[in-house]
Amino acid sequence: MAGKLNYGKGGASMKTKIFNNLLLKILSVVAAVLLWLMVVNIDDAIDSKPFRNVKVNMINTDILTTQGQMCRIEEGTDTVDLTVYARRSVLKDLKASDFIVTADMQKDLRYGSMVKIEVEYTGNATIDRIEQNRENVLVSIEQSVTKQFKVAVETKGECGNGLVVGSTIPAQTLVEITGPISTVERIKRVKAEVNITGITGTVVRLSTLQLLDGDGNPVDGTYLNYIGKDSEFEVTVTTLNTKQVGISFDISQVAPEGYGLSAISYTPETVEIAGLKSQIGPIYNLDIPPEALNPDRESGKVVQTVDISQYLSSGLLIPNESDREIVVTMEIVPYQSVSYVLTGGQIQYQNVPEGYTLDLSETPPLEIVVSGMVEALAGVSLENISASVDLSACQRAGTYHLPVTVTVPEGCVGPEGLETSVRLLRVEDEE
């Protein structure tokens, strides 16, 4: 038995060693996995990322339109701040556009003035949670109204080559605006401003419509609908040539009956007009008609402002608004009078019928009162006064009472309604 080998005890020891090594390996793997998980959780931990002032999109607002209403969002409540929680590896690629933020008028209107805000993530990554600083949009529901406004065009800058603006014609002279009644009623003026710097001839310029209140402050058009809100507005601008011309007033009707114009002056005495070169070329004076002066027929010192722009020919204008009104000062005084006496022989008798003659023995002297300004009367005498009687209606002998036509020098006024007696005789009767 001495040569027999015994392996039993040594084999058991080897088995124990192998088992212990395997356990260590398993523990090592587990430890490595746990360590990796710890590292991952530290390097790619859950973190947060803020997104500020994300726009809230109102949906299903047409439910109000069918009822003749509109909603206006209270200022500052139509945006929301989001805080997104996710792993850092996810957060680094997130953008505000990855989130849809809505407020549904049809589904989530609360208490008549609040609409719940819903936030939806549109990506594929895993989001832990989303927090928002506001739960509701505050709205004001109002009656919807439509109103028309005239478009006023204003220009800035200067035309080229000494030209002036002749006309500014907007693509639409009236614009129709629809929106909440409180906003629409604030609008008092709609303006289109165009830059005319350097333009000549006819040019189309682009502008944006400005909505202004009574104090000239902008009106927010966010909740308004109108043509030109989201697009540029066309204005056609035409330029004109200019020329300095005089002013000529017709004074023939300036004074009431029995009065005359003693003096007249006006400021300015010249004015700049604008028009096509062919129009303004022949013009040297603006002729203002007689009805423009002293329409109330006053006397004494009369000061009147005359808007001469209304007497311009079509196509002409006065570019400087301050030159359109002329201040006219007039001295209107009573006429002076001078009397002259004409005998029957000094009167001219016209259309005496053939075969007849005149007997002037019973024709009385005729007093002629001539009225006028002192300067005009100084040149009057019997030699330049004439009186005539027309006998064309007299066809038989007899005594006639006939009107006398008196002619006096220019600038003077002769009498009207004078009559005289004339005796008409047959020639044979006279013999």
Alpha carbon 263 to its chain centroid, in Å, reads 41
For residue range 258-278, list pLDDT tens digits in order: 999 999 999 999 999 999 888
- Which residue has tokens 């996710």? 86
pLDDT at 127: 92
Instruction: Please give the residue that has the higher pLDDT: either 76 or 285.
Output: 285
Return the SS3 of 40. helix
Angle CA 398–404–405, to nearest 5: 145
- Rounded CA-CA distance 316/203 in Å is 19
Q: Which of 44, 107, 55 is nearest to 80 (CA)?
A: 55
pLDDT at 3: 46
Residue 32 has pLDDT above 70, yes or no: no
- Rounded CA-CA distance 277/243 in Å is 9
Question: 390 forms bridges with which residues in the sheet?
Answer: 350
pLDDT at 250: 94
pLDDT at 78: 87
pLDDT at 309: 94
Q: CB count, 10 Å around CB of 126?
A: 9
Q: Across residues 287-311, what is the average pLDDT?
A: 95
Return the SS3 of 200. coil
Residue 367 has pLDDT above 70, yes or no: yes
Instruction: Please give the residue that has the higher pLDDT: either 11 or 276.
Output: 276
For residue range 46-60, list pLDDT tens digits in order: 899 999 999 999 888
Per mean pLDDT, which range of 16-25, 69-78, 171-180, 411-420 is the poorest?
16-25
- Rounded CA-CA distance 184/220 in Å is 10
For residue range 57-92, list pLDDT tens digits in order: 988 888 887 778 877 788 888 899 999 999 988 999
Q: CB count, 10 Å around CB of 277?
A: 9
pLDDT at 75: 82
Residue 11 has pLDDT above 90, yes or no: no
Query: 159 falls in which pLDDT band (50, 70, 90)?
Result: confident
- Rounded CA-CA distance 99/80 in Å is 12
Residue 7 has pLDDT above 50, yes or no: no
Locate all alpha helices (DSSP H) within 81-201, ordered by sequence. 88-91, 181-184
**Residues shown for the chain:** 431
- Rounded CA-CA distance 15/390 in Å is 168
- Rounded CA-CA distance 396/429 in Å is 12
Under 8 Å between Cβ of 220 and 187? no
pLDDT > 90 fraction of the chain, expressed in percent and rounded: 60
Residue 429 has pLDDT above 60, yes or no: no
Q: Which of 161, 174, 154 is nearest to 226 (CA)?
A: 174
For residue range 384-424, list pLDDT tens digits in order: 999 999 999 998 999 999 999 999 999 899 999 999 999 99
Residue 4 has pLDDT above 50, yes or no: no
pLDDT at 5: 44
pLDDT at 113: 85
Residue 13 has pLDDT above 90, yes or no: no
Could you tell me the sign of the dihedral formed by the alpha carbons of 264, 270, 272, 277, in that order?
positive
Query: 222 falls in which pLDDT band (50, 70, 90)?
Result: confident
pLDDT at 20: 60
Could you tell me the sign of the dihedral formed by the alpha carbons of 339, 344, 347, 351, in that order?
positive
Could you give the C-alpha distances from 212 to 93, 128, 149, 185, in angstroms and in order? 44, 48, 11, 11
Kindly give the pairing relationship between strand 109-110 and strand 164-170.
unpaired
**Counting beta carbons within 10 angstroms of the beta carbon of residue 242, is it exposed (0 to 12), middle (13 to 18) or buried (19 or more)?**
middle
Q: 130: number of CA atoms within 13 Å, CB side?
A: 22
Return the SS3 of 174. strand
- Rounded CA-CA distance 247/270 in Å is 6
Under 8 Å between Cβ of 319 and 165? yes
Buried b (16+ CB within 10 A) or exposed e, 325-348: ebebebebbebeebebebebeebe
- Which residue has tokens 């902008």? 218
Q: Could you tell me the end-to-end alpha-carbon distance of the chain, in angstroms, rounded to an integer?
A: 219
Residue 327 has pLDDT above 90, yes or no: yes
Q: Across residues 202-207, what is the average pLDDT?
A: 90
- Rounded CA-CA distance 7/25 in Å is 28
For residue range 118-141, list pLDDT tens digits in order: 999 999 999 999 999 989 999 888
pLDDT at 18: 56
pLDDT > 70 fraction of the chain, expressed in percent and rounded: 90
Q: Across residues 200-228, what is the average pLDDT?
A: 91
Kindly report the average pLDDT of the chain as a whole number. 88
Instruction: Please give the residue that has the higher pLDDT: either 93 or 429.
Output: 93
